[in-house]
Amino acid sequence: MKKIALTDLLSIEEYEAQRPVIRKAIMEHKKNRRVKLGPNATLYFEDYMIMRYQILELMRAENITGNEELDQELQAYNPLIPDGSNLKATLMLEYPRVEERKERLSELIGIEASISIQIEGHPPVHPIANEDLPRSTEDKTSAVHFLRFELDKGMINSANTGSAWIIQSNHPHYQHSHKIEDQDIVQSLLRDFS
């Protein structure tokens, strides 16, 4: 999948003029990039469009205009774009009440390694997690984890020919499974392999 280059970005002024249309398109696009896993976990699958939007929003919010600063943002965000043989996702653990969140995050240490994606007929794929920095301590895990799922050609071929997708967590304190039946989501994820 294509990575973001400086030439793919708009000036802040151009972005401001186009922002309502871009935001609407991104919100619609993100609907097909989000998979709930049980009541408190969601996987947000990243791609070029989403990362470009994130950079444009950051440029706008922080008034970033210099090429050196923008290059730093590209170095931070481009690794979150799939490479053609993988899916990249942000795992969010969502507990609205502060006390419950603290308690659950202390129980869910290691959850990032317990998540898997399985294409029917193939073994589950566990992610390479948090490549940028560790997000768990002895006492608790983070509410946000960055995951990279590497799929081999056989899995990708099966996914492209209609095999079912199952995402699951087998963490002792969070065991949930979700079969992706929404074909718009499947088709969106399949584009990550092209």
pLDDT in tens, 163-186: 999 999 999 999 999 999 999 999
pTM: 0.92
Its CATH class, for the domain covering 34-45+83-194, is: mainly beta
**pLDDT above 90 covers what percent of the chain?**
91
pLDDT of 135? 78
> What pLDDT does 124 receive?
98
Region 121-134 average pLDDT? 89
Token pair recorded at residue 148: 């990279």
Name the average pLDDT for the chain: 95
Confidence of residue 114 (pLDDT cuts 50, 70, 90): very high
E-strand ranges in 94-181 read: 115-119, 128-129, 144-150, 165-171, 174-180
Cα 62 from Cα 57, distance rounded (Å)? 8
pLDDT band at 137 (very low <50, low <70, confident <90, very high): confident
Q: Where are the domains of the chain?
A: 1-31+48-81, 34-45+83-194
Which residue pairs from 171-177 have beta carbons closer than 8 angstroms and sit at least 24 positions apart in sequence? 171/108, 171/110, 171/111, 171/114, 173/104, 173/107, 173/108, 174/38, 174/40, 174/41, 174/108, 174/111, 174/114, 176/37, 176/38, 176/39, 176/41, 177/37
